[in-house]
A = this chain, B = another copy of it.
Amino acid sequence: MTLGNDFNRLKKLVDDHILDYLPEIDPKSGTLYEAMKYSLLAGGKRFRPVLCLAAYEMATAGKGDLVFALPYACAIEYIQTYSLIHDDLPAMDNDDYRRGKLTNHKVFGEDIAILAGDGLLSAAYEVMAKDMLLYLDEQDMLKRKVKACFEIAKGTGCRGMVAGQVADVENEGKNCSADMLHFIDDNKTAAFIKSSVMCGFYLGGADKIMKENGRTFGECLGVAFQICDDILDVVGDPKQRGKKTGGDAELGKSTYPAVYGLDESYRQAGELLSKARESMIIYGEDAVVLNDILSYVQGSIRRDD
């Protein structure tokens, strides 16, 4: 289960520049920078920023300079990282490990972890606003950036990711309905994945049809991504995942396997991934990275039986 060259080329770009866009942090602010850096470099797959860059490349038919989209891709990863730091806190999921490393609060303490998260979330918008300042006199480009920023805010805020997180937390230990499960996953996971894709399409000036297909792709991939994560929490290998399995059941989380059973969860994930793939057919080779990510997610839950 590996990702292709194009995925890795974009991922490397994010890895190489993830710290470059952080605002300059005064050493007097103690471990703030260390704490932010620790989680930014904790070895994620960078799916969301890569989705943004890949969509941008698609929209510009490979002609757009990636530097135009890179600050937004990094901002996306800052938001993803803040959400993981806060999610791992004792008052939330209380996780000691993430991606095989100690979680932020286990290393830096709860107070610094909360603030490192706040710092990363703030940094995301500071980066985007600062980048807009460079394009004040290029109206078309500035418009794209504003729209891209709005997509990210919408997908990750209180009618997106944060809404999903609250619903997730408040439905722990309850037998939640399929309706509520869908609300949680649409918001907790899919909204941000969709907005990462759309961010790239807006930055690249995608046409209306590409944006419509992008929304379908993002929504389907996003929910499938969460279903697969739910499935792997039941059947996965803790070593490969870098965190324990069975955590969801322990916390009584609302998951696809809990609501639908394992077999139906596999089926629904497969269906969503197929739908996502269909939305990209007309773009052929231009959609190589987006398709690659679909294959990766599909492969992660492949059954040998």
Give complex CA distance A125, B132 in Å: 14
Is B146 in contact with A26, judged by CB distance below 8 angstroms?
no
Which of B24, B111, B126, B166 is within 8 Å of A30, CB to CB? B166
Q: 0/1 per residue, A119-130, Cβ < 8 Å to B?
A: 111110110011
Interface bin, chain A: 35 or more
Residues of B within 8 A of A24 (CB): 159
Copies in the complex: 2
Q: 0/1 per residue, A249-277, Cβ < 8 Å to B?
A: 00000000000000000000000000000
Which of B23, B119, B123, B159 is within 8 Å of A23, CB to CB? B159
Give complex CA distance A187, B136 in Å: 28
User: Is there a chain B Cβ closer than 8 Å to A232's Cβ?
Assistant: no
Q: A237 CB to closest chain B CB, in angstroms?
A: 29
Residues of B within 8 A of A109 (CB): 91
Give complex CA distance A272, B24 in Å: 27
10 A-B pairs closest in CB distance: A122-B157, A91-B110, A29-B163, A119-B158, A126-B153, A129-B150, A30-B170, A32-B166, A119-B162, A28-B183
What are 12 A-B contacts with C-beta separation under 8 Å? A23-B158, A29-B164, A29-B183, A91-B109, A118-B121, A119-B158, A122-B153, A125-B153, A126-B153, A129-B150, A136-B146, A142-B142
